């Protein structure tokens, strides 16, 4: 895949969630280098500060700010949205990138399965809370980092928390299916506003997320590291993995394209379940109820 050189982004403001590492960090470097005021989020102050130093050094830009938000907490997401609204008179691009995998089933403080909470409900809530500001900045874009893993995802509204038969990839795939369904439903709701929303698979990328998938016992973790080391040699670098984010966020070719799923900078048909409009509507209503938002 050819590297995407973004247009001049001077005067634009871009928010990238989960940019302390991996493809979010690399996308933030590209945006800052192209002149955008770039806001990043992370869940750990030290990692946010380290990322800010790196992004400023590599991009040569000082217009980079870091905000704290832990996506396992809806209160933290709401605080993040309030900070963004207070700091940013405009928001041209929102990149919903933060994500995680969880080897064991855990619940957030709000009693929601963590993978679904972090990968789907947090960006659902954040996007809705920022939507007016994004619409007021139109033409504007929302980019959701999904995954090809969505093709293996299912949605069981009677067991959204995986009370039964939790498995790491079942939970991850469900959250990524939700990303694609959310993208398509939001695109419909935003028709005619000048705001586009697209989602993407970044490729298989050697990032920190593979470490989160490591088992919890010491010897299993060591074995996992041995198995992952050669596998990582076949993965994309985070710089290349960030390319589809940069493309979706900035390419003039996509100015009016919305509701798409992209792989390698090309629109691709997502899985049949991801095209189910009724499922997308039901997910929206369920997500609104789970985040305390009005469904409209």
Catalytic positions:
172
Supply 165's token pair: 């038969």
| β partners of residue 163 | none
| Cβ at position 123, least distance to ligand NAP in Å | 9
Query: Which residue from 28, 37, 70, 91 is in contact with ligand NAP, where contact means CB under 6 A?
Result: 70
Which of 66-74, 158-166, 213-221, 259-267 is the region at the interface with ligand NAP (rule: CB under 6 A)?
A: 66-74
CB 47 within 8 A of CB 41: no
Q: Is 262 in the site for ligand NAP (CB under 6 A)?
A: no
In the sheet that holds 64-68, the strands lie side by side as 64-68, 37-42, 13-16, 93-96, 140-145, 195-201, 261-263, 266-267
Q: Is 80 in the site for ligand NAP (CB under 6 A)?
A: no
Q: Is 185 in the site for ligand NAP (CB under 6 A)?
A: no
Q: Where are the beta strands (DSSP E) in 146-232?
A: 195-201
Residue count, binding to ligand NAP (CB under 6 A):
30
Q: Where are the alpha helices (DSSP H) in 60-167?
A: 74-87, 114-116, 122-136
Q: Is 20 in the site for ligand NAP (CB under 6 A)?
A: yes
Q: Is 43 in the site for ligand NAP (CB under 6 A)?
A: yes
Query: Which residue from 33, 47, 257, 281 is in contact with ligand NAP, where contact means CB under 6 A?
Result: 47
Based on CB atoms, which residue is closest to ligand NAP, 145 or 187?
Answer: 145
Q: Quick one: angle between helices 122-136 and 277-291, nearest 10?
A: 100
Report CA-CA distances (Å) from 26 to 10, 47, 162.
18, 14, 33
How far apart are alpha carbons 221 and 233 in whole angstroms? Answer: 19
Which of 126-134, 155-163, 200-208, 281-289 is the region at the interface with ligand NAP (rule: CB under 6 A)?
A: 200-208
Residues interacting with ligand NAP, by CB under 6 A? Answer: 18-24, 42-44, 47, 69-72, 97-100, 118, 145, 147, 201-202, 204-205, 207-209, 212
């Amino acid at each position: 895949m050819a590297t995407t050189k973004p247009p001049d982004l001077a005067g634009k403001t871009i928010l990238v969630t989960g940019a302390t590492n991996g493809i979010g960090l690399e996308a933030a470097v590209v945006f800052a280098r192209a002149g955008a005021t770039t806001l990043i989020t992370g869940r750990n102050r030290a990692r946010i500060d380290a990322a800010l130093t790196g992004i400023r050094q590599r991009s040569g830009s000082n217009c980079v700010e870091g905000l704290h938000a832990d996506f396992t907490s809806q209160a933290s997401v709401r605080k993040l949205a309030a900070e963004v609204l207070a700091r940013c008179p405009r928001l041209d691009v929102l990149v919903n990138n933060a994500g995680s995998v969880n080897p064991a089933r855990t619940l957030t403080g709000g009693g929601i399965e963590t993978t679904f909470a972090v990968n789907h409900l947090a960006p659902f809530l954040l996007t809705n809370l920022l939507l007016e500001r994004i619409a007021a900045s139109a033409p504007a874009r929302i980019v959701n980092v999904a995954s090809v893993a969505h093709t293996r995802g299912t949605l069981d509204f009677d067991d959204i928390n995986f009370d039964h038969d939790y498995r790491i990839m079942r939970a991850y795939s469900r959250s990524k299916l939700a990303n694609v369904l959310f993208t398509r439903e939001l695109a419909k709701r935003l028709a005619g506003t000048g705001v586009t929303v697209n989602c993407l698979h970044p490729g298989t990328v050697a990032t920190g997320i593979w470490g989160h998938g490591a088992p919890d016992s010491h010897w299993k973790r060591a074995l996992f590291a041995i198995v992952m080391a050669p596998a990582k040699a076949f993965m994309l670098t985070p710089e290349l993995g960030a390319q589809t984010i940069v493309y979706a966020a900035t390419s003039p070719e996509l100015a009016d394209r919305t509701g798409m799923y992209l792989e390698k900078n090309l629109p691709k048909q997502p899985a049949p379940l991801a095209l189910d409009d009724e499922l997308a509507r039901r997910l929206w209503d369920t997500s609104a109820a789970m985040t305390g938002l009005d469904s409209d």
